[in-house]
Amino acid sequence: MIDLNPIDELARRLSSLVPPGLRGHSSEELREELQENFKAVLQSGLARLDLVTREEFDVQRAVLLRTREKLEALERLVADLEAQAGASSAPR
């Protein structure tokens, strides 16, 4: 799950950058509305990126490492078996 605290902070920063003339009389309400809109847009954009958490990434990395080690071991085994087969079929 993606940590939403940085998104909330970014939404607050963006809403604080709105010029005072555009904020109107109820500036607090408008600022909160802008902040919620910015947050929704940011969350929507991030959701489309198909991101994974660091934990998920690390788990998949470990799985890939184990798979690579098994593949290398199997490649060595096949090479050894081929060498044995080649030695036993050589003319004497």
- In this predicted structure, what is the pLDDT of residue 90? 66
Locate the domains of the chain by residue range.
Answer: 1-51, 52-92
Question: Hey, which of 26-30, 71-75, 87-91 has the most confident mean pLDDT?
Answer: 71-75
Tell me the per-residue pLDDT of 3-62, one tens digit each, with 9 for 90 and over: 667 878 887 787 777 766 665 556 677 778 888 888 888 888 887 887 888 999 999 999
Alpha-carbon gap, residue 76 to 4, rounded angstroms: 47
Under 8 Å between Cβ of 31 and 15: yes
Is the pTM for the entire model greater than 0.75? no
Confidence label for 68 from pLDDT (cuts 50, 70 and 90): very high
